[in-house]
Structures are given as structure tokens and as C-alpha cells.
Amino acid sequence: MKIAYFDCGYGAAGDMLLGALISAGLPVKPWLKELDKIALPPGSFKIEISDVMRCSLAAKKVDVHYEKYHSHGYEDSHSHEHSLEHTHSHDGEHSHSHDDHHGHDHEHVHSHEDGHSHAHSHTDSPDHSHQHEHDRNLPEVLRIITASEITPMAKELASKIFTTLGEAEAKVHGTTVDKVHFHEVGAVDAIIDIVGFAIAYDMMQIESSTVSPLPVGSGKVQSAHGWFPVPGPAVLNILANAGVPIASAPFKHECLTPTGAAILCTVAKEAAPMPSMTISNTGYGAGTFNPNGFPNVCRVIIGDAIELAPTKLESRLAIV
């Protein structure tokens, strides 16, 4: 049985998990073709894949660009714009970088008087011009996934991950899942991270996964609606519901995003040390934050599960 171990000693975000699978051998061009089958308007996003170094460790960095939505709303185009994989190392400016140390554009939900909740990305300003008619709630996102021409297994996994994320956000804000809305920018980013991961997971034919205990970090992170504590309440809800333990770590920044937590807690059957396996591939996915003291990456180890036979130990002590 093909299994995966997600070793996330420094945390995880959706884009980092994608980078880890790409680094572990995901065929990029077929994966990009599958992304084109997501039922989003043409020209909604662009994928950039880069080779980067994190504390002298080679890793893959994935960025989702969605400038067209951010600046102009819906815009006609004949195809999604996917960049091919870069072979050089760089840490350039990306379209959704912000104060989050992982550089991942996850959402905070804001409740309005109409009883709905709206998710805003960290880069949104309070006087944003996004129109409510461009928001998407969870049922609408699930309809997009259902309408996509991807495999049934990828649809099922993506739907489960999004539901995990929606339920956690709804609990935070005292509302129902159906009333949690995502602004267009954040929704596109989350859709690509989550559906893209589900497609990749299916393409790599991984049958079972285990995740390490997860560090969450500490401190505060700024959103359009004020400073939020780290770990965020949605992350805590996801971990609590899944029973995944938190790893003690001295990091004074956000290590685990809601999207990363939702993905890992959905695919992993357990949180435990690395299972017994014969290793076939390993991969490293990078976050934007690039400290000197540790590699800000998550690692995936893929292989075939094995059952270890008990080993008989013989005493080497001389019997007098």
C-alpha cells in the first residue's frame, strides 16, 4: 500500500503541501492540465513553481497569482494562465505575499449584520471594493468542485477538506456553514490550494497518510479587521475536531494556516511518528518566510507500507 508521511516540524500551509508533493515527483504538466478542469471562470489564476533554498535545503515554492480578480473582478480570457516550472532559484515578489510568515493567503471570517460571514485575505484593506455578489459560500464552492471535470476521488477529497475548513470557521463566528462566505480573491486561492492538493494526492495514488504532531506558533497576525492570536481559532477547531496533537515549538510566528490544517487533518488517518515503510520519494515544500535558523519547509515522505516482523534479541552478556 502506498503511504505518505507529512513531516511538518515547522508547520504547513496549502501552498507548502503542494510544493512538497511536486518536489516528491508529482508530474507538473499533467497536474496543470487537471487544474484547467476546475470549474472557475477562464483566466482566474496563474501558477508559479520555483526552486528555492531554505536554510541550504532545496525546496519547491508554489504561488497562486490572481491579480485579475483582485484588480478588475471577472475578466474574459480563453484559458487559465499556467507558468511552466522554473529551474532557477529566486525569492521574488509574489501576488499574494503579506505579513503571514508562510506567505499563504488564508482567510479570516467577518460577520455582518445580515447573519452572513465573509472571509477576507490578510492583504485586503478595510475599505476594499470587492462586491458581495462576488463572494462564495461553502455550498457554492462545493458546486464548483462537483462541476469540475476532475476525477471522482479528487472531487470527494477536495469537498471533505473544504467542509472541514468551513465548519471550523463557522464555529469561530457562531454561525452555520452555509453562511460562511469567502471573498473572490481568498476563495480562488483556497480553491486552487485545496483542489490542487486533492488532484495531486490522487495522481500520486497515495492510499493512506500519517502526519507528525503540528507546531502552531505564537504571537499575533494582522488582518484587515485587527490583530488575531496565533494559533488562530479556526486552526484550533480543526486540530481539536481531528484529535491531532500540537507540537511544542519556540516559534514566534504563525506556523500552521487554516488551509494547511484542514488538508492535513482530512487526509491523515493518524498523527504519529513515521510509519514503517520502504521509501520511494521525498519532497520539500517551502514557505515564503526564510529564516537563518531553520528551514521553513514541510516534508513529505512517500513509500510502501511494510509490516516489520518481531526481531528476537539475544543477550550478549556472558553467563557465569
Binning pLDDT at 50, 70 and 90, where does residue 89 land?
very low
Q: 246 burial class (0-12, 13-18, 19+ CB within 10 angstroms)? A: middle
Judged against a pLDDT cut of 90, whether residue 155 lies above it is answered with yes
Q: Which pTM value belongs to this model? A: 0.79
Q: How many Å from the N-terminal Cα to the C-terminal Cα in the chain?
A: 48
* N residues, the chain: 320
Binning pLDDT at 50, 70 and 90, where does residue 42 land?
confident
Binning pLDDT at 50, 70 and 90, where does residue 184 land?
low
Task: Encode 59-85: b = buried (16+ Cβ within 10 Å), e = exposed.
Answer: bbbbbbbbebbbeeeeeeeeebebeee
